[in-house]
Amino acid sequence: MGRKAKKFIDKKKAATFQLMSRDSADDPGFGDAPGGDRIFVRVDNNPCSVDTLEDDGGGGGGDDDVFADAPGDFDDGEDGAVGSVAGARGAGGGGAASASASASGLPEHVRREILELGFPDDGYNYLGHMREIRNAGGGSAFYQNPKARLDLVPKDVKAYDASRIQVPKVEGNPHNESIYSVAANSVNVRVKKAVDPEVNALLDDSDLSRFGSDVEDLEEDFVVQANHPEGEDGIVEGISQYPGMPAVMGSVINELDTAAGRERQIDNGFPHEIRSRFVERNEEFDDEKPRERRPLDEQFDLLECQEYGSEDDDKDDSYGGYMAEEDESLALKLKQAFDDKVVDDLEIDDKYRVPADLLKDNDVKSKQLQDSAADLIRRCVEYADRYENENDDKEVVIVEESSDESEVWDCESIVSTYSNLDNHPGKIEAPMGARKKKLASTISVALGAANPLISLKGKEKLPVDYLPRGMKSSAEKVKGGSVSRNEQPRRKQHGQESKEEKKERKAAVKEERREARRMKKETKELYRCEAQQAQKVAATTGPSSIPLM
């Protein structure tokens, strides 16, 4: 395999330049010309000297050679480096700064620019920190994404299809603002609707009046304000489109003559009113008319006829404003209500007056007030009489409350059905008490015995008198004991007793033993509890002298 006889270029004897972007306007070569924002920077260290590609001429080129190492260190190792644009600023800046910072101060135009930007004029070139927005990437790179599905763009994003725009190359007029070339050409782009027009309309609808509450934003004395038609001319100027304002109500009252035609259609319920605020009001008024008339409507009509004459169906023109109907109706109703009453009566500046005071007071203005006071007093008297009379008729019977719960006995409530008089606490005894009773009985028997000595009898030599007798009567035991006592001194000599005596003797002995056994069993039974306790103690306390049975 033969290599090429001669390479086109021998890299070791060639100068290599990389195309990098210029740093900033500091560099005098910078311009908006098509190639003005780039510069060739030498990136190799070969000893060959080639006329450099920089367009700064000799001086700038010479300076840049000094910095030739810098980009070399940065870029040479990266064969597949991305975007020389991004990495070039330092190198270009290094090259450019050397050229321009020769003077100790800054050039005049640079200083002016720094001042314009608002930085202090202290000799430091703040422009070095500024980054120009260029039309050729500026560190960013566009990568076409073949998988971008723009038709799946979400609804709240507007997508413009600008793929067919031909942006002309910036060649003819290098002083044009080339950054606007794209924008200028995309004017005719058909905007793809991202959302439905109706949805758009709803979203753009800034008139939130139909969703707003009606009684918001009312001043505290809106009622009083509404009732003073005279003082409303000042409020009229402050009309706004928002229907909740009291000013609107004021103006509404002013225009009652024109609004009289509307009154029939006004209803009390809010849902109606909210609906009726939409644009086509006239049609909606027609819709509301066939609603059945309530007695309140008739009352209302009567009142309006009284007050405003018969202008019911005459005027149907627009308000001239976006007035709320329920405010109007509210205002009207209030006006009706308050017209009947004298305004002064509503004032609470004088002291409170009881109906009786009103009756007695002869200089009360209106008869109506007096009548109402009299009526009130009469009614109070009626109620009082009724109350009193009711009490005389019936007796108050106190019925002991017996609920079902209390009838049922439960363990919490009752320990005994006997009261303490019958059931002395002393008589309720624990099981230990039974044994003490037995003990007491035996002791009493024993104490009752005349003999002060405690006699130990039987094989085990137990204090027979003090043992519990069990079922047998004490007399029998005494007897048995005594029989055995009687017979013992009568023991004859060995070989001298007869057969019957021997038999008797044997029988007596047997009996004695039998008794003893029984005694022992009874004792054991009696003291079993004690024995268990003793064993427990002995077990827990460890080795001791107590022999465990």
Partner 1 sequence: MDYPIKPTKPGLEESSEEILRIRITLTSKNVKNLEKVCAELIRGAKEKHLRIKGPVRIPTKVLRINTRKSPCGEGTNTWDQFELRIHKRVIDLFSSQQVVKQITSITIEPGVEVEVTIADT
305 is an interface residue for partner 1 by CB under 8 A? no
35 is an interface residue for partner 1 by CB under 8 A? yes
For tokens 């934003």, the residue is 217
> How far is the CA of 229 from the CAs of 72, 253, 305, in angstroms?
89, 7, 19
**3-class DSSP assignment, residue 53:** coil
Provide the minimum distance between the beta carbon of 57 and partner 1 in the complex, in angstroms, as a whole number.
10
Provide the minimum distance between the beta carbon of 36 and partner 1 in the complex, in angstroms, as a whole number.
8
Cβ closest to partner 1, residue 4 vs residue 424: 4
Helix (H) or strand (E) holding 117: helix 108-117
Provide the minimum distance between the beta carbon of 128 and partner 1 in the complex, in angstroms, as a whole number.
23
Which residue of 102, 104, 144, 451 would you call a contact of partner 1, by CB under 8 A? 144
Binding mask 160-199 for partner 1 (x = CB under 8 A): ---------xx-----------------------------
148 is an interface residue for partner 1 by CB under 8 A? no
Which residue of 22, 38, 457, 477 would you call a contact of partner 1, by CB under 8 A? 38
For tokens 């190492």, the residue is 69
Distant-in-sequence, close-in-space partners of 79: CB < 8 Å, separation ≥ 6: none
Q: How large is the greatest C-alpha to C-alpha distance in the chain, in angstroms?
A: 170
Provide the minimum distance between the beta carbon of 41 and partner 1 in the complex, in angstroms, as a whole number.
10
Binding mask 327-366 for partner 1 (x = CB under 8 A): ----------------------------------------
Cβ closest to partner 1, residue 37 vs residue 304: 37
40 is an interface residue for partner 1 by CB under 8 A? yes
Q: Are 162 and 189 in contact (CB under 8 A)?
A: yes
Q: Are 163 and 26 in contact (CB under 8 A)?
A: no
Provide the minimum distance between the beta carbon of 46 and partner 1 in the complex, in angstroms, as a whole number.
7
Q: Are 17 and 82 in contact (CB under 8 A)?
A: no
For tokens 């309140």, the residue is 296
Provide the minimum distance between the beta carbon of 7 and partner 1 in the complex, in angstroms, as a whole number.
9
Which residue of 3, 4, 5, 51 would you call a contact of partner 1, by CB under 8 A? 51
Cβ closest to partner 1, residue 81 vs residue 184: 81
Assign residue 309 a region: left if phi > 0, alpha if psi is -120 to 50, beta otherwise? left
Provide the minimum distance between the beta carbon of 280 and partner 1 in the complex, in angstroms, as a whole number.
56
Q: Are 266 and 324 in contact (CB under 8 A)?
A: no
**3-class DSSP assignment, residue 426:** helix
Provide the minimum distance between the beta carbon of 106 and partner 1 in the complex, in angstroms, as a whole number.
29
Which residue of 9, 133, 157, 208 would you call a contact of partner 1, by CB under 8 A? 9
| Calpha distance 421→424 (Å, rounded) | 6
Chain residues 203-222 in contact with partner 1, contact rule CB under 8 A: none
Cβ closest to partner 1, residue 51 vs residue 108: 51
Q: Are 253 and 331 in contact (CB under 8 A)?
A: yes
Cβ closest to partner 1, residue 85 vs residue 358: 85
For tokens 């908006």, the residue is 32
Which token pair is 480? 């048995």
3 is an interface residue for partner 1 by CB under 8 A? no
Cβ closest to partner 1, residue 13 vs residue 461: 13
Cβ closest to partner 1, residue 35 vs residue 433: 35
Cβ closest to partner 1, residue 47 vs residue 271: 47
b/e map 381-390, b = 16+ CB within 10 Å: eeeeeeeeee
| Calpha distance 101→23 (Å, rounded) | 14
DSSP codes joined into one string, 358-380: HHH-TT-S-HHHHHHHHHHHHHH
Helix (H) or strand (E) holding 286: helix 281-288
4 is an interface residue for partner 1 by CB under 8 A? no
User: In this chain, which stretch among 36-44, 301-309, 376-384, 537-545 interacts with partner 1, using CB under 8 A?
Assistant: 36-44
Q: Are 327 and 248 in contact (CB under 8 A)?
A: yes
Which residue of 28, 45, 50, 479 would you call a contact of partner 1, by CB under 8 A? 50
Provide the minimum distance between the beta carbon of 11 and partner 1 in the complex, in angstroms, as a whole number.
6
| Calpha distance 387→381 (Å, rounded) | 10
Cβ closest to partner 1, residue 9 vs residue 453: 9
Provide the minimum distance between the beta carbon of 100 and partner 1 in the complex, in angstroms, as a whole number.
22
Which token pair is 151? 């038709």
Q: Are 387 and 363 in contact (CB under 8 A)?
A: no
Which residue of 48, 183, 449, 483 would you call a contact of partner 1, by CB under 8 A? 48
Beta strand spans in 430-488 (E): 456-457, 462-463
Number of residues that bind partner 1 (CB under 8 A): 41
Cβ closest to partner 1, residue 11 vs residue 275: 11
Which token pair is 429? 């005894």
Chain residues 79-118 in contact with partner 1, contact rule CB under 8 A: 79-85
Q: Which residues bind partner 1 (CB under 8 A)?
A: 8-11, 13-19, 33-36, 38, 40, 43, 46, 48-51, 53, 55, 79-85, 136-137, 140-144, 169-170
